Every structure is written in structure tokens, then in C-alpha cells.
Structure 1
Amino acid sequence: MVRSLWSGASGMKGQQIQVDTIANNLANVNTTGFKAQTAQFKTLLYQTLQAQSTNAQGETKPTSAQVGLGTRVASLNANFTQGAQLASDSKTALCMIGEGFFAVQDGEETHYTRNGNFTWAIDTDGSKILTTAEGYRVLDTTGNPIRLPATAGELGFGVNIDDGSISYKDAAGNIIQTGQSIARYQFTNRVGLDKIGENLYDQSAASGEPIPEWSTAGVITSQIAQGYLEGSNVNVADEMVNLIIAQRAYEMNSKAITTSDTMLEQANNLKR
């Protein structure tokens, strides 16, 4: 009886995490570049109630009797399928098409993101730098921030980003190439990236080292579309169906606990 109580409790805990994951997906349905997550489950250890043996006639019993001890969450995996391209009026709105990630600088740390909702900001020396909405600097292929001279127009007006390459118009209307290109990185295992919030990811031992697309042979290069943003890949209909399934599973595990409690009560009443 006690085994069934713990198994039911483990199932309720697992389904609670499933509901939490689905709720987080639905909350970020309009978050630029957000990737939905799914909970993966695994069984706990099994107890052997009766091992393989022989019966009274010496015949071998082919199977043993084993019972499980419930379930637990094995991992929360992100789904990195491409989100929809959403048109934007911003000239610094960039949509990553492919498996690449933007690199942004936070102090001495480098993070990676699919959110291309960037803007121009004024640096301490008066030049213009490309940043995220949180102020993290977008990096180029040399690991330096994307920078424009102070004479490049008001807050980057007239700046063009052609598949990641930066150019602008000077006072005479001439197009000046800055020589900078937005960095694009890939990972051997994107699912292994560490999520740190603000739609940012950090490399981990599971994800492997970042792979620069511009200098690695055999890598399919991602494209950058100016004037577009990558929408969330959350499918609301699928999430609502999964939410109902998780709720029903939670109720069934709760019913298993209630049934076990009733059986224990009946067993105790037998002594009276």
C-alpha cells in the first residue's frame, strides 16, 4: 500500500512540472524567438517481488515479478524549430533563418540568443553600438561590438544590414561599408544549452563549443532577414491539448492515492 502512495505522489509531482512547463510556454507565446519546452519522463527503480524460479514440478518460471516505484522528470527539452517570420517597421529588427544564434556581450560574458529585436544606442565615446533591448552588445565575427561612427546619422538612420553585413550612408549619400558582419554561431547539441532568462542561452558541456558559421567548413550558413523578427514556435492548440492530458494524469494519480488510502483504512478496520 505504501508503495502505491509513493508512486502516485511521484506521478503528481511529475505532472505538476508538466503543467508548469506548458504554462510557461503559453505565457511566452508572443515572446520574440522563444522556443517551447517539453517535459521528458522516466521510470524510477523497480523492486523484484519474486525472482525467476521453478515450481513444485521443477518447471522453470520464465519471468520474474517486478513492480515500479513511480516516475520522475528526466529533462526539459527545448524545441528549436523555426518560428514564423513577423514583419517589423524597425530597421534593426533581424530574423535568424536557420540553426544559428546571435552572440551578445554582457560585461565579460558572452551569451547567445535567437531574439533579433535590436536597437542602436550611444556608447561612451559617442559612437553608435547595436544592442539588445536589455543593453547587451551584439557582437561581430571578430568578437567586437557592432559599432558605427558618430557621423553615421541620427541613431543609425540610413544603416543597412544585408544578411548581417553593416553599411551606412554618409552626408553625401555614399554607401560606406563598415567591414563588420554580425556573428552567427551554431552548436552541436542546441538542446543542451543552458537557459538563463531574458531569452538568452549559455554554452554548456552538453551543448559543446560554439561553432562559427563564417569560418567552419561544412556548416549550412544561417540567413539574416532585416525588417523581420522570429516569432515564438509555441502552438497554442497543442499546448492546450497537452494541458488537458497533464490534468487528467494528475487526477488519475490523485485517485490512486485516494484508493490506496481507502484500502489501508479497510485493512485497519479488520482488526476491530
Structure 2
Amino acid sequence: MPTEPFPLTWLYVPGDRPRVVTKALASGADVVLVDLEDAVAPDRKEYARTATAELLAEPPLVPVHVRVNALSTPLAAADLTALAPLPGLSGLRLPKVTSPAEVVHVAEGFAPAEGGAIPLYALLESALGVERAYAVATSHPSLKGITLGEADLRADLGVRSDTALDWPRSRVVLAARAASLPPPAQSMHPDTKDLDGLARSCDHGRALGFLGRTAIHPRQLPVIERAYLPTQEEIEAAEGIVQAAAKEPGAQALPDGRFIDAAVVASAHRTLSLARRAASSPSGV
């Protein structure tokens, strides 16, 4: 199955619109997320599943993940049965996860017959899911990431302020780190024309510890990538830290007064890894 290094942009597309999916594969997104759940009307679910299975019969050029229907519904079993064995599937997004048992059920009940494991990603979209974030994050080796589904979480909590979600956001970032999973990607920004608001929101998400973001329109992708790639100033600072650490291992104070230790050096290496991604990006972002 395809893999994707440092994914920063994840583009959702409805599974019942194959031509839109084809366009998404050429959009520049790091990962295309084919949605069989909320974006598909009930009478289009079977068609969406069939169309997605046809797409994944061969590995596409871009990694494709599929968000199946809620695991509490019969639709999810049909989705998983049809899609799990396909060679073009890079990952499964499991919506509305509230317990580790749900992840284990998918990981052990729908593994490909030829062996191997399907990378799973759990969406925490309720108060109960957030409360169990670490238990879900450590539920099975096949689980490769967790993140929030903020639209459903807002409804569940009855909150109106965006800042009211900062605690659940931090909870999920902490749970992912404690479970040695990659930093979560931010939940999507619902206004596809509000690019300035998207940029501000991405800056806030990056400050909270997220890495990358889901999108619902290709115009959002460059904004997300710019927000999550390091600035020139950050790159230069990281280079200085790495060079100083190479000359003199261990904790030290730099001439400009900055104190560095192993944790600071590790963060600097991560910054430079992301910078190398920017240098090799076809978009030049």
C-alpha cells in the first residue's frame, strides 16, 4: 500500500462523485480522503462504495484514504468488506469512534487475507471519544493516527465559540504524543472562501501542536501548506541549533542567549525535515 511522508494536506471528496475524486487526485493534496459518510446522501451510499472500489482496484498516484460510514451502522461493515482488500487503499478513516474496541474490531476483523495491516485513523467526534482519546490511541498497532471531528463535537458539546474547543484539541494532541503517534491534523475549516480566516486558524492550530489540516476545497491547500511549513526565520534558527549541537553535544547557551538541550535539538531537526519537504515541493510553496 502507498505511504505518504509528512502529509500536511488531506483533501475530502464525496465518494459518489468519481469525476470530483479524479480532480482531487491531481489537486496537489498529499492525501485524498474519499468520504462515504457525511458527504454522501443515504440513497447514494451503495453507488459511492462501488465507485470507490473501482478507483482502488489499482494503486493511484496519490495516497487515498476512505472515511467509511459510522461503525455503529450496517453500512460500515459493507464498506469495510468491499474496500479493505483493495491494493489502492492507503488507509481507513473511522468516524465517531468512542472506544478502543471499535478500532480493534476493524483492525482484526477486516485485515487483508494476504496479511499485512491497513493503517487506521480514528476520528473523535464526541465528548466520550475525547475522554477516551489515549485509550483509543493505544488500542491497536494498526492505528496510525487520531484527530478531532469538530463539527460533530461542537454539536455534542453545544458550544458556539471556537476557543471552546481548544481544550479538546490539546487533549487529542497530548494523547497522540503519549501514544507515539504523529501529531494530529487539524479539522477542516468550513468556509471555503475565507482564506484569511483559514490562515489564522492554521496558525492557531500549529501553535497547539497540530501538523497539517484536512480541506474540503482545493483552494484551501496552498494556505494550509504555507501555514504549516517553517518560515525562513525558523529554518535559520533550526540550522543554528543543529550546528551548535554538532560542535558541542549536550545542553548549552548559544551566544544570542538561547538555551538548547536534546529536546530543542530534536525540534530543530523536525523543522529542517519539513523545510526539505518545502524545497522538493512541485508547487514551490
TM bucket, shorter chain = under 0.3
Larger relative helix fraction: 2
TM-score by length of 1: 0.22
Larger Rg: 1
Q: Structure 1 or 2: larger strand share? A: 1
